């Protein structure tokens, strides 16, 4: 069984979307979670753009990093530099990956322009998660 952990600053957008895609795409035997170095609550625009892909993340919660889950994970993916820099030290058995993605919650402009940024980040996360799962399955 593979255990994945997606981390970002507030666990409100990027890591939540990554968790949603991984839960959909990964084998059901995998453990998948997300967390943040802070708790900012679940961003409603992240929920909206994920629903456009048929994935409901509305019941997910913004949580802080769980050191026990972190240390037992096979792979930890940080989705922003802040989470990478502030992530607690992990045992050498934990593989760490970094996907430097822009924070869609910082987008400015019209409502539609902001949604477009959320969609762009969502699509990049979907691609990265799918590639990660394929890579893990190929090497197992």
Question: Catalytic residue positions?
Answer: 8, 80, 87
First to last CA, the chain: 10
Length of the chain: 140
Please, what sign has the CA dihedral across residues 96, 97, 102, 105? negative
Decide the pairing of beta strands 95-98 and 31-36: unpaired
d(CA 140, CA 41): 35
How far apart are the C-alpha atoms of 118 and 51, rounded to whole Å?
Answer: 12
């Amino acid at each position: 069984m593979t255990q994945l952990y997606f981390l970002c600053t507030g666990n409100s957008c990027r890591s939540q979307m990554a968790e949603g895609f991984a839960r959909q795409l990964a084998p059901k035997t995998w453990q998948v979670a997300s967390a943040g170095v802070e708790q900012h609550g679940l961003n409603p625009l992240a929920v909206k753009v994920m629903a456009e892909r048929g994935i409901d993340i509305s019941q997910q919660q913004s949580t802080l990093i769980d050191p026990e889950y972190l240390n037992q994970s096979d792979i930890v993916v940080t989705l922003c530099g802040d989470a990478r820099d502030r992530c607690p030290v992990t045992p050498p058995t934990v593989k760490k990956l970094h996907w430097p993605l822009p924070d869609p919650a910082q987008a400015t402009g019209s409502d539609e322009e902001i949604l477009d940024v959320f969609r762009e980040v969502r699509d990049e996360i979907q691609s990265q998660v799918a590639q990660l799962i394929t890579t893990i399955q190929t090497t197992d």
